[in-house]
Amino acid sequence: MRAHYSYRPDDELARLQEAGSVIDVSRHRSVEELCLAADALITDYSSMMFDYAVLDRPVVIYADDWDIYRSSRGVYFDLLSGSPGETPGAVARTERELVEVFREGRWCDADATALRTAFRARFCRFDDGRAAERVVRALMLGQDLELPLAPTPQTRPLADSAPAGPRGGVLTAE
């Protein structure tokens, strides 16, 4: 569990950690390292979902206050719509639904994978590990480059070069 940087220490989180149910990594210096160690991300509206999507690993949206958030903050798209390109994976609106998403395997099933694939095509299409090269070629060498329109089957997240197998659980970010 990684709480938002502005959150104060939470007694309930401390109790869960003492019980061995949760590991609080809120003070870990590198969110990037935590993302690489996690098998999935549970988040609400954190922009981390866009960074995590580059890894092509499951994202679960837990949005218990979506209606309030949408009306008070405004949104660019309906994250909970279930529409390809808008929803990055399984969605839960209550704690019970969140538990069911994991118990039933919906966090990593074919539907969640299809949603993640469409989300990546929309938001990660240039994240193929060659962005800096394209900038140098275009700006410094004056080369016209054809940009990729979507992640291709050959485009693998850099983290996929790590050994296969569980990386250490689920990262939650608020």
Which pLDDT score is estimated for 106?
A: 97
* SS3 category, 128: coil
Q: What's the CATH number of domain 11-126+166-173, 3.40.50.1000, 3.40.50.720, 3.40.50.12580, 3.40.50.300?
A: 3.40.50.12580
Rounded Cα distance between 140 and 134, Å, is 10
Rounded Cα distance between 137 and 8, Å, is 46
**24 phi-psi bin (left φ>0, alpha ψ -120 to 50, beta other):** beta
**83 phi-psi bin (left φ>0, alpha ψ -120 to 50, beta other):** beta
pLDDT in tens, the chain (174 residues): 887 777 777 788 888 888 988 888 888 888 899 989 999 999 988 889 999 999 999 999 999 988 898 889 888 888 889 999 999 999 999 999 999 999 999 999 999 999 999 999 999 988 878 888 888 988 999 888 776 554 555 555 554 444 444 445 555 555
Rounded Cα distance between 95 and 87, Å, is 19
Which pLDDT score is estimated for 165?
A: 45
Q: Which amino acid is at 33?
A: E
